[in-house]
Amino acid sequence: MAGTRGSAGAAEGVTMRRERRGRAAVAMAAGLLLLASAGSVWAAMVPGQAEVMRVTGRVEAMIKGQTQWVPVTVGMKLGAGDDLRAHKASAAELALPDGTTVLLAENSRFVVNQLDFDAQNRTRVALFHLVAGKMRAIVSKVATTLVKTRQSNFAISTPAAVAAARGTDFEVTYDADQKVMRVAVLQEAADEDSTPEKKKL
97 and 133 Cβ atoms separated by less than 8 Å:
no
More confidently predicted of 40 and 1: 1
- Give me the chain's average pLDDT, please: 76
Both 195 and 97 in one domain: the answer is yes
* pLDDT value for 166: 59
Alpha helices of 76-183 — where are they, by DSSP H?
144-148
Q: Domain range spanning residue 22?
A: 1-44
Cross-strand partners of 47: 116
Statement: residue 77 has pLDDT above 70: yes
Both 29 and 69 in one domain: the answer is no
Both 35 and 57 in one domain: the answer is no
Both 73 and 134 in one domain: the answer is yes
The tally of domains found in the chain comes to 2
Cross-strand partners of 175: 180
Average pLDDT, integer, range 92-120: 92
Which range, 45-49, 102-106, 176-180, is most confident?
Answer: 102-106
Residue 24 pLDDT grade (very low, low, confident, very high; cuts 50, 70, 90): very low
Both 90 and 136 in one domain: the answer is yes
Burial class (CB in 10 A: 0-12, 13-18, 19+), 114: middle
Both 18 and 96 in one domain: the answer is no
Residue 30 pLDDT grade (very low, low, confident, very high; cuts 50, 70, 90): very low
Question: Angle at the Cα of 31 (from 30 to 37), degrees rounded to 5?
Answer: 90
Residues making up the chain, counted from first to last:
201
